[in-house]
Structure 1
Amino acid sequence: MTLLRARNLVKEFDVAGTAGLVKPARRFTAVDHVSFELHAGQTLALVGESGSGKSTTARLAARLVDVTSGTVHLDGQDITALQGGDLLEVRRQVQMVFQDPFSSLNPRHTVERIVTAPLRYQKRPVPGGVRTVARSLMERVSLNPDHSDRYPAQFSGGQAQRIGIARALAVGPRVLVCDEAVSALDVSVQAQIINLLRGLQAEEGFGCLFIAHDLAVVRQIATNVAVMTGGQVVESGSRDAVFDSPQHEYTRRLLAAVPRIRPEWEAARLRNAGRVREPQ
């Protein structure tokens, strides 16, 4: 089932001329006719280097940024130009998890207030009371519910990102947009957050649009991959197809740049379909 469908998305920004010089403003194309589909229960990873347009594409899909042209459909409905209450419902169905957990959490609010904020903004009922809901959300992301009265600064980076995920889950979204959601975390914590997201997705069935530049992370979580450069998608397909048989030269360069402890082990892993034991 297709949850989110983007067709020929274009986003242009005005770039001001240089101060003091006779140089007119120009238009910069950040996203150039990008199309993709996201299905329920699957994770589509948009990958590419910084400046490739992947984060802007995600924001267009979530209606955080208005498109220059193209369309976005959520569950078959064109949401490209929705406003007011109709757009508020889109906000419920499409939630964001941001890169820097501390920047996206109000340092003056308790965790209880933070994770239940979407319920207040959406004017949704809170069965059992705010505290009960907050504790339940914290348990779902493996945080101690007794810490709901604490503030973001009292948590580690990984814990703070779990708070951000709990907040996103509060209104039962159908699509979760994760914009570099693990890039600021240590490798071991990244694995924990990825496992958390996969477990929640298995339970809830939401689609996940996962923005990343780290291909090692993408390989762990993605169902499908779209590779972007210069604002365009240059290759897309299933995770295994893109990683094991890349067709575009840019994709091959990205994969070649992934650090490996021992390249010969990686080659053997590919030959043996993952059944490789470390040499004694």
Structure 2
Amino acid sequence: MSTAATPLLRARDLVKEFRVGRRRTFRAVDGVSFDLARRETLGIVGESGSGKSTTARMVARLIDPTAGTLEFEGQDVTAAGGSGLRAFRGGVQVVFQDPYSSLNPRHTVEQIVSAPLRYQGRKVAGGYRDVVRDAMARVGLNPDHADRYPAQFSGGQAQRIGIARALVVEPRVVICDEAVSALDVSVQAQVLDLLLDLQRERDLSYIFIAHDLAVVRQIAHTVAVMSQGTVVEQGPREQIFTEPRHEYTRTLLEAVPRIDPAWEAARAAGETHEREDTR
């Protein structure tokens, strides 16, 4: 297979079991497989408890899979450790859900954003400050605020700090685990636009974990739908959203609030004050 045709990231039959009590185990993820192409976004959607975040943590090697394999740039990294794991994490970074809980409140932005560089053991002549300031500017933050602490930033700004931290090591893949779900709608749109701009500029690939199908439709090229630890449907974005094949996918789509054009027209004309049904 040619390098051009090889997926950047490939997961095959990933399984994760957690011990519950002395003799029982709970299978949170059961046989998840997918390919992530270069410069593309895979959206993984499902309800809370569907296993999507556990899948993300396995793919990032934050937790080890019970079974299955993970390949990055054609290399098996399922059991990588030591320098191999550090190298993998240089290529695959994570942006977490809660922008505040994922940032050490006692560290400055400079300390937070430079942390992956220190973990990687990358030396920078003159220190990390200029690299951090460049990363902050790229995500729309004022570089002069590098000495401030997370509590001094809004939720949207704090999430941009998390994105800057992920990008500072020049990764190939960024896993966004519910990265906009804690943000207001207007701030969500700004962060999504930023992610899309960065993807075009840096040839990034994303795994975008979300329960909000409307958000996934804006950013994903392909979509995997998870339920009870398994992928029940997977395919191109428009096929999933316009011709879903699995009943669970149809149920998720039917739960998305929709605007009633007739009601909106009446509201604009001042003819109604109440919305009876938005779906």
Fold conserved between structures, TM > 0.5: yes
SS in 1 for 2:30: strand
Corresponding residue number in structure 2 for 1:83: 81
Distance 2:129 2:95 in 1: 22
**Aligned match of 1:7:** 12
Contact 1:48 1:228 in 2 (8 A): yes
Please point out which of 181, 184, 199 is paired with 2:182.
184
Tell me the SS of whatever aligns to 2:98: coil
Question: What corresponds to 2:150 in structure 1?
Answer: 152
The 4+ residue runs of structure 1 with deviation greater than 3 A are none
For 1:26 and 1:114, the matched residues in 2 are separated by 39
Alpha-carbon shift at residue 206 of structure 1 (Å): 1.5
**Does 2:37 align with 1:32?**
no
Which position in structure 1 is the counterpart of 2:69? 71
Q: Distance in 2 between matches of 1:257 and 1:57?
A: 24
- Pair 1:170 & 2:175 matched: no
Count of residues in correspondence between the two structures: 262
What is the CA–CA distance in structure 2 between the aligned matches of 1:242 and 1:165, rounded to whole Å?
A: 28
Cα root mean square deviation, aligned? 1.7
C-alpha distance after superposition, 1:4-41 (max 9, x if no partner): 1000111111111xxxxxxx631111111110011111
Q: Structure 2 matches for 1:27-176, cutoff 5 A? A: 27-127=25-125, 129-176=127-174
Which runs of 5 or more structure 1 residues have no equivalent in the other structure?
A: 17-23, 266-277
TM-score of the two chains, using structure 2 as the length reference:
0.90
Distance change >3 Å, CA 122–CA 25, structure 1 → 2 = same
Counterpart in 2 of 1:21? none
Where in structure 2 are there 5+ consecutive unaligned residues?
Answer: 270-279
Give the AA of the match of 2:19. Answer: D
Q: Percent identity?
A: 67
> Aligned partners of 2:125 and 2:206: how far apart in 1?
27
- Partner of 2:35, secondary structure, is strand
**Superposition pairs for residues 124-273 of structure 1, below 5 Å?**
124-127=122-125, 129-262=127-260
1:147 shift after superposition: 0.9
Q: Which residue of 2 aligns with 1:268?
A: none
- Work out the CA distance in 1 between the residues paired with 2:252 and 2:133: 42
TM-score scaled by length of structure 1: 0.90
| Secondary structure class of the residue paired with 1:7 | strand
CA distance in 1 between counterparts of 2:125 and 2:211 reads: 40
Amino acid at match of 2:171: P
CA distance in 1 between partners of 2:182 and 2:163 (Å): 15
The separation in 2 between residues aligned to 1:247 and 1:263, in whole angstroms, is: 27
The alignment partner of 2:8 has SS state of strand
Q: 3-state DSSP class of the match of 1:225? A: strand
Counterpart of 1:14 in structure 2: which amino acid? R
2:274 corresponding residue in structure 1: none
